[in-house]
Each structure stands twice: as structure tokens, then as C-alpha cells.
Structure 1
Amino acid sequence: MDRIAVTGATGQLGSRVATLLAERGVPHRLCVRDPARAPRAAGAEVVAADYADPAGFRAALTGISTLLLVSGHEGPERMDLHRNAVRAAAEAGVDRVVYTSFLGAAPHATFTFAREHAETERLIREHGLRLTALRNTLYADVAPHFAGPDGVLRGPAADGRLAWVARQDVARLAVACLLDDGHANQVYDVTGPEAIDLHETAALLSEVTGRDITYHPETEQEARASRAGAQPWQIDGWVGSYLAVATGEVAVTSHTVEHVTGRRPWTFAEFLAAEPHAWAHLV
């Protein structure tokens, strides 16, 4: 069996992947910045590794053939960190990278972070690594946090639609791709099974919370003004995520999760029923 490493294992997605690998009895290595925070998963070897430390990250990947590369946190330095990580993986002899990209990743995508994902995909290929790109849409897990304290979702998404995908379903897909080399050199759109707009999103949140939650479509100018105190890259990213919904760039509904794993992903309503902790703060 290929030796597998997982990055971002202290985060929401990587920790789920580690748990699923452990449940299947698959030995794996968890590459984390703080080993004390790593999940305690059966069969997991924990090593300290940081994208900001290329030499240390390269050493952490010694003997690894397949790597789950979870994208770094958004920020001005993210592409430098991704360059470090990809170069280190290539130098360590990694063969294949399963990378958490974004739906519609392209150099001229409306969503600024989708442009960074496209560049990272290019870097992985450029360094001779076989890529499995998981182009995930927006996570269902974060949708409840779009609502403000007043119960209103605000943003310039117009009446665009998106098929929210649960992190748990992405984790199931990532594990399947890590364990099957047949997914090498593939680019997968990863979504939930149905596309809804933000009015429908708010209505479903209202049903589970018992609160009156609504969606208010903003203009781009209103949205930027409402975030005037943030850094420009943060404003561009936040506004761009909504604009990508408005333009239809994330209106895709794919069958990837079901096709690869054999089980349909949750709809947004099913996610809310299965993961009440995700919206408990709204009650």
C-alpha cells in the first residue's frame, strides 16, 4: 500500500480524513504544525511540519508516496506557502498529491481565492507530481455563519445558486481518492446534490433554528462598504465568494461524491439535520 500523509489534520477537514483512515485501518502520517493538537487516530504517525519551513516539511514527507495537501489559510502569504509545500513534496519524492482546490478554479475566476487554487494546481503539475484536484464548492458547514447576529445573510450573490457540500462528504471523497491510484491526473468538481439560492438557504436555517432568518442581496458597493475596516485581500475574497454565486460560476451540481464513494452527499437540509452543532450559535 502507498504511504499516505495528511496535512491540515488539526483542522476541520484534515481531522475528518484522519478519522476515516483510522476507521479503515489505514496507516498514515499526520503532518501538523502543533503535534499536541493532532487527532489521536489509530495507525497515525504524527510529525511536526509547516509549509513555512520547506526543509522541515520535506523531511516530514520522507517515504511518502501520496499526499493530501489541504490548502493553507487565506492570506497574502498563502501562495508563498503553497510554493514551499509543493516544492518540498516534489523534492521528498512524493508521487501524487490530492489537493483541496475550489470549484471553478481558473486564472481569471471572479473569486480571488479560486485564482490561487488554479495557480497551485499548475504548480503541482509543473513539479512533476500527479494531481488529483478536489474542486470543492462552498462548505455547508460555514453557511450558518453567513447570517449576522440579526439573522440576515447579506452579500452580493443576487439570485445565484450553489450546491453546498458538507465537509464530511468531502472527507469521504478525499479518503477514496487517497486509497485509489486510479484517481491520479483527475480534476473533480465537488458539490452537494442540489443547487439552492440564498433565499432558500435562509429558509432552511429558519426551519431548524426557529428564528426568522432572511437573505438580503447587496450590491457590490454595499458589500465592500460593510467590510471597510478589513484588509483589502479579505474584502476582495469575501465579496468575490458572493459574486461567484451571482455569476453562476459555482452553480454546478456534480455527481462526483456519489460516483466515487458509492453514497450520495447530503443536501443542505440533510446536513442541517445531521450536524446541529453547525447552527447552534444561531438559536
Structure 2
Amino acid sequence: MTAPPIGVTGATGHIGGLVARHLDAAGRPQRLLVRSPGSPRLRDPASVTGVRRVDYAEHDLSVVALRGVSVLLMVSGHESATRAADHATFIDAAADAGVKHVVYTSFAAAAPDATFTLARDHYATEEHLKASGMAWTFLRDTFYLDLMAELVGPDGVIRGPARDGRCAFVARADVARVAAAVLMAPDAHAGATYDLTGPQGLSLSDVARVISDVDGRDVTFHDETVEEAYASRAPYEAPPWQVAAWVSTYTAIASGVMAEPSDAVERLTGVPPTDLETFLRAR
């Protein structure tokens, strides 16, 4: 009897795309669940049994796409003012479609009062999953190592109210390796929450130094006040929720809540997590 396909959302993105490659290498049947089935970014591994369109905000569409899927990777949706509600709609669709187990990419220290404002959406999603009747596994990653170089402004300065706080930044590739491992043995991880981190806690001064060393340019960190951070981002004319998310990225680092590395990546995959210097040199 053929095993039901593993459902993979976000297959045109970073995490979902990497997970799809891991599952293909392992020969595990999978169904890719995407917003744009015609996207040129959509890879079509040999293990794919189908591609279906989903939209987290559209219950009925998602139910049709999810029927026949037993284990599902739910990559958190794009940042928006309605993300928590959209997540809840999709979770309800998964339950109605007969999905048995959801592996969700959450965020470190998810809580209703989390300093990083978007982590509050992740907490709400976790709680909705717990109440859904489906088995669940939460992958709580820290901020992505992959994005550190993008924090550097055109003047070579990283700006934000992070003080000397540290974060054990994690590589997307490491998160994807863990997700694939969990999806291929879901019963062993039912009800588990894993904190996914890099190998060490780094301050943004540390990040600036490593980027300087690797890229051969002068990069520094300027510790803004919270008031300065809001003012410096005002010209982007982004909605208030988004500006709060940008600023709280740095205040969450300042809080130290993501400073301590965990052993989860190596324990679950057998491979140590990537450090910043190694990542930057491999670009």
C-alpha cells in the first residue's frame, strides 16, 4: 500500500523548497501546496505526487488541496495584519480535510506578550493547533542567519535598539533539515516543541565584525534608542504593525530571550548547526 503524500506548504519559498528537496532525496512521496502553482520558482522533484493551490485565508480551497495528506508541513505565512486569523482558517481546513499531524514553523519564545510582536501570532497559531484535535510539532526558530548581511545599511551600519543583547541566529537550511527529519518520522515528535538555533549567541556588534572580516569591508553596529528606531523607519510609510515588528526585532535581541543555543539541530539531524562565518563564506 502506497503511503499518503507528505504535504509541503511554501514549496516556492526558502524553507518549503529546501524541505521538498530533502524529502525527494529520501524518496518520500509529497504533495506541494502553494499559492501559485505556475510559479517559475516551483521545483518538481520526482517524488511529487501532485501540486495543489492553497491560500491560508481560503478554507474550502485548502480543504480540497489537503485531502489525502496525513502529515503536513505548515510554513508560517507572510507577515500581515491578518496572519494569525489566516493561520487559524488553514488549520481548520487541515482538520476538516483529515490531516493527522501538523509540523508548524513557529518562532522562539512565542507568547501572548512576546517582545517580538510577530511571535504573538505564532503563539496564537500554536494554541489553535493544540485545540484542533490533530497531532502537532512546533519548530521554534530564532531569527535567520541568512538575513544578517541584509541588516547592513548602504553606509555599512547596522542600526537598531539591540543594545548588547545576543541571539543564536539559525540558518534556514538547518531549520529545513530538522523539518524534513520530523516529517519523515512524525510519531516520534508528536507534541514536541523544538527550539532551533545556531551554535552560538551573537550580539549585533559580533555580527558586524564577522561580516567585516568575511567581506573585507567596514561594518559597524549603532545601538539606536527605541525612539530613534521608529523615527529612522518612518520614511518607509509602512503600517504601524509592520514598523512595530521591525523595531521589536531588535528589542527582542536586546532582551536576551534568544541568546542561548540549543542542541536540537544536531540532535535531530546528526549535523551541527551552521555558524555565521561559515554561512557567509559559502554564499
The answer, yes or no, to whether TM exceeds 0.5 is yes
SS of structure 1 residue aligned to 2:38: helix
Q: Do structure 1's residue 218 and structure 2's residue 224 form an aligned pair?
A: yes
**Gaps in structure 1 of 5+ consecutive residues:** 277-283
Letter in 1 for 2:280: L
For 1:132, which of 124, 130, 137 is the aligned residue? 137
> Structure 1 CA distance, aligned partners of 2:44 and 2:208?
36
Q: Deviations over 1:125-178 (max 9, x none)?
A: 111111100000000111111111111100011000111111111100000010
Letter in 2 for 1:204: V
| CA-atom RMSD in angstroms | 1.0
> Structure 2 CA distance, aligned partners of 1:133 and 1:2?
22
**Gaps in structure 2 of 5+ consecutive residues:** none
Letter in 2 for 1:220: V
Q: Report the equivalent of 2:28.
A: 26
Letter in 2 for 1:197: S
Letter in 2 for 1:178: L
Q: Retained in 1: the 8 A contact 2:161–2:223?
A: yes
Letter in 2 for 1:240: S
Q: Report the equivalent of 1:249.
A: 257
> Structure 1 CA distance, aligned partners of 2:277 and 2:223?
22
Q: Do structure 1's residue 190 and structure 2's residue 196 form an aligned pair?
A: yes
Number of residue pairs matched by the alignment: 275
SS of structure 2 residue aligned to 1:6: strand
> Structure 1 CA distance, aligned partners of 2:94 and 2:52?
15
> Structure 2 CA distance, aligned partners of 1:133 and 1:52?
21
SS of structure 2 residue aligned to 1:260: helix
Which 4+ runs in 1 deviate beyond 4 A? none
Q: What are the residue-to-residue correspondences of 1:257-276 with 2, within 5 Å?
A: 257-274=265-282, 276=283
SS of structure 2 residue aligned to 1:227: helix
Q: CA deviation at 1:2?
A: 5.1
SS of structure 2 residue aligned to 1:205: helix
SS of structure 1 residue aligned to 2:125: helix
Q: Deviations over 1:95-148 (max 9, x none)?
A: 111000000001111111111101100000111111100000000111111111
Q: Do structure 1's residue 114 and structure 2's residue 116 form an aligned pair?
A: no
> Structure 2 CA distance, aligned partners of 1:110 and 1:51?
25
> Structure 2 CA distance, aligned partners of 1:2 and 1:106?
34
SS of structure 2 residue aligned to 1:154: strand
Q: Report the equivalent of 2:46.
A: 42
Q: What are the residue-to-residue correspondences of 1:98-247 with 2, within 5 Å?
A: 98-180=103-185, 181-228=187-234, 229-247=237-255
Q: 1:182 to 1:2 in 2, by over 3 A?
A: farther
Q: Do structure 1's residue 5 and structure 2's residue 7 form an aligned pair?
A: yes
For 1:15, which of 17, 22, 25 is the aligned residue? 17
Q: CA deviation at 1:23?
A: 1.2
Q: Deviations over 1:34-56 (max 9, x none)?
A: 11222121211211111122101
Letter in 1 for 2:25: E
Q: CA deviation at 1:79?
A: 1.4
Letter in 2 for 1:137: T
Q: Report the equivalent of 1:280.
A: none
TM score, norm. by length of structure 2: 0.95
Q: CA deviation at 1:82?
A: 0.4
Letter in 2 for 1:225: A
> Structure 2 CA distance, aligned partners of 1:165 and 1:272?
13
Q: Report the equivalent of 2:65.
A: 60
> Structure 2 CA distance, aligned partners of 1:240 and 1:110?
6
TM score, norm. by length of structure 1: 0.95
Letter in 2 for 1:217: D
SS of structure 2 residue aligned to 1:36: coil
